[in-house]
Amino acid sequence: MFCQKCGAPLPDGAMFCEKCGARVEEAPINNINNNVSPQNIPGAVPPPVANPSIWSTMPLKKKIIIGVIVIVLIAAFAIYRNVQSTINLNKYLVEEYTGYNTVGRASIQFDYDQFEDDYGKKIKMKKKTDMSGLYDSDCELLADMCISGSASDTDHLSNGDVVTYEWDCDDKAAERNFGMKLKYSDVEFTVSGLEEIEMVDPFEALDVQFSGVGPRGEIAITNNSTKDYLRNLYFSVDKSGDLSNGDVVTISIDNGSNEEYLAENYGVGFSKTQKEYTVEGLGSYATKLADVPDDMLQKMQQQAEDMLRANVAQSWDEHEALDGMAYLGSYFMTPKDPNNAYNYNNAIYLVYKITASDNYEEEGIHQSFNYYYFTVFTDLINLPDGTCSVDLSSGGMPANSFTREVKYGTGYWDSDTYRYNGYENLDTLFNKCVTAVIDKYNYESNVQDAE
């Protein structure tokens, strides 16, 4: 059996032609002569044969279903083609956060490598240009020519801050030159994962020493830290001199120390930037006679007497004799304005009554007399351990002097004149040592003249 439409052979019982799809219909039976057909009559023209298509004989419901399927396929193909030519740029953004909380940094970058992997073989430039040869692929050329963007406010970040990446792409160039549509939108990223800054005490290894004597004390600062970020710090103090015990000084990190640099590079911050220190351990200048311990007074007396004896041995004539010395007491001088001491911060005058004599044995002359003398020591210091300090070698003797003439014969030439450092009476000594500076110094006295 053959297809009445295309003539293709048909298997027995077939309802449709496998080649053209025409429905197979049995030939009509001729009741007059079953063995005669138009094809068998010489010269006869066969009658036209009906040739209905599958679609014309298909039920309406089936036609509707097939039509819907075709429309869906066409739409899907159109969507597929559109998707294939559209690039979603947002999915290629890569975020990275580095540094420490409050000084962190954000890096929002376009992943060119992944973009190349995904589109390296799909993107083709419609018309090659001179620029094409400068790139490894058309994909790379599109990325460089059409894709751009940046993130703002990417420094000094804290966890929870929001960084926005804004695109600045050339959509028209991408579609015109490559037939590609760029899909993108500005993206907000929330900062996370930044390490917390370690808070440290920058004064932990600071050695603060006070030296000298109040109110002229001084401060010395030594940074003993072994940590790089602390060892290189600079410190300043609000008052470095004229200190007394009990004063409070403030040490601060110098403004030149870059805390931001330390935070970014070492991950540390300062728990404090200044610290107060109370001045202690300074000596203090004695302000009254009671501040002078007995043992120190005895040392000064011994030094004063040794100095006088040394002077007598070196300067006195053989006819002069030192017969004795009696300690009468002291004048203690302190400046009226401790912050404006003129010559000394304090002074103690050890006053002596000296007994001396002029002797000429051959002439039988022995003349005894008294005068007044002192040795002065300055800047007596009371130390924190309760002791007293003074420079004993700095003791001073009177610059004032008087003369005595001794006659040992009847001639005008039978006489000698001797000069003595000191004062003929106690009042004169007091006037020279105390009264002359009473406008600048207070005084305290326990001098009593010996009979």
Q: Is the pLDDT of residue 211 over 90?
A: yes
Ranges 186-190, 304-308, 411-415: which has the least confidence? 411-415
14 with 24: CB under 8 angstroms? Answer: yes
312-332 per-position pLDDT tens digit: 999 999 999 999 999 999 999
Is the Cα dihedral 269, 101, 167, 147 positive or negative? positive
Residue 364 burial by Cβ neighbours in a 10 Å radius (0-12, 13-18, 19+): exposed
Q: Is the pLDDT of residue 30 over 50?
A: no
Q: Where are the domains of the chain?
A: 1-57, 86-190, 198-284, 286-445
Angle 118-122-127 (CA atoms, 0-180°, nearest 5)?
135
**Angle of helix 112-119 versus helix 138-146 axis, rounded to 10:** 130
380 with 390: CB under 8 angstroms? Answer: yes
Question: Which helix H or strand E contains 357, and what residues bound it?
Answer: strand 347-360
What is the structure's pLDDT at 232? 83
337-374 per-position pLDDT tens digit: 987 777 899 999 999 999 999 999 988 999 999 999 99
State the average pLDDT for the chain: 87
**DSSP assigned state of 152:** S
Ranges 19-23, 148-152, 282-286: which has the least confidence? 19-23
175-189 per-position pLDDT tens digit: 999 999 999 999 999
Averaged pLDDT for residues 400-418: 90
The proportion of the chain whose per-residue pLDDT surpasses 70, expressed as a percent, equals 86
Most confident of the ranges 65-74, 123-132, 243-252: 243-252
What is the structure's pLDDT at 46? 55
> How far apart, in Å, are the Cα atoms of 10 and each of 6, 19, 22, 40?
11, 9, 11, 21
Averaged pLDDT for residues 156-174: 95
What is the structure's pLDDT at 132? 79
Confidence of residue 53 (pLDDT cuts 50, 70, 90): low
**Cis omega (within 30 of 0) for bond into 215:** yes
Q: Is the pLDDT of residue 71 over 80?
A: no
Confidence of residue 79 (pLDDT cuts 50, 70, 90): very low
Instruction: Pick 106 or 231 by higher pLDDT.
Output: 106
> How far apart, in Å, are the Cα atoms of 343 and each of 313, 357, 437?
31, 35, 10
- C-alpha 135 chain-centroid distance: 46
Q: Is the pLDDT of residue 78 over 50?
A: no
335-352 residues labelled b (16+ CB within 10 A) or e (exposed): beeeeebeebbbbbbbbb
Averaged pLDDT for residues 388-407: 94
Q: What is the pTM of this model?
A: 0.56
Within a 10 A sphere around the Cβ of 24, how many other Cβ atoms? 16
Question: Which helix H or strand E contains 61, and what residues bound it?
Answer: helix 60-84
Confidence of residue 380 (pLDDT cuts 50, 70, 90): very high
Averaged pLDDT for residues 259-263: 84
What is the structure's pLDDT at 52? 58
